[in-house]
Amino acid sequence: MSTSEGHGPSVRTGQAMKTKFCLVRHGSTDWNIEGRIQGCTDTTLNQQGRREVSELAQSLKRQDWEFIITSELQRAKETGEIISDTLQIPLFSYKGLREREFGPLEGLTLHEIKERYPGWGDGDLFLPELESRQELKTRALKVMGLLANLFPARQLIIVSHGGFLRAFFRAGLGLERAAPANAEKVEVVWDGAWKVLHGGEKNDL
């Protein structure tokens, strides 16, 4: 399976074909509002999240997006369904786009995590079922590389999660920025290397 460093030319002429991605973070959930770690806990959108995604979907009209691939978690799938209904394009789901697995941290706020696990924030904790940052970056790069190889010269909307997208920005683009806001989009392209088109301006503080 290829990564962004392992892709070769995709066409007979020796020139890599461009695949355009609109990377979208799912709309808001109650746990987003409460500041709780969601990970792979299968939370759903709230009314605010549905409004956010509806507004995003309207902004994506008449942009020639061909289909949508979402994480299999409900908050991402529902986000994709709203966009799919608005744009009238097909929707698929893929488990590889799921959020980072946070194991025992899921459902906790950052304050609660720091109380229970004082080392959080200084580096990776080694806890049962907690996906490490490096594992997440490796997965994100692998999954995005796979999609770029499978769909050369297409225009895809990808609906995933803040942790996954941030890991991809770091691993694929060398970009240090905060996770996208809920229902925020970032457009990137694969043409032999990963490049940001729109939405990569927010740097970490």
Catalytically active residues, by annotation: 26, 99
With b for 16 or more beta-carbon neighbours within 10 A and e for fewer, the 170-203 pattern comes to bbbbebebebbebbbbbbbbbbbebebeebbeee
46 token code pair: 């709230």
Q: Which residues are paired to 190 by β-bridges?
A: 19, 194
Give yes or no for a contact between 151 and 162, defined as CB atoms under 8 angstroms apart: no
Q: Which two tokens stand for residue 42?
A: 């299968």
Phi, psi of 150 (to 5 degrees): -75, -30
Q: Under a CB-based contact definition with an 8 Å cutoff, are residues 133 and 140 in contact?
A: no
The H-or-E segment that residue 145 falls in is helix 133-150
- Token digits for 8? 């070769």
What are the beta bridge partners of residue 130? 102
Residues in the chain: 205
Helix (H) or strand (E) holding 56: helix 47-59
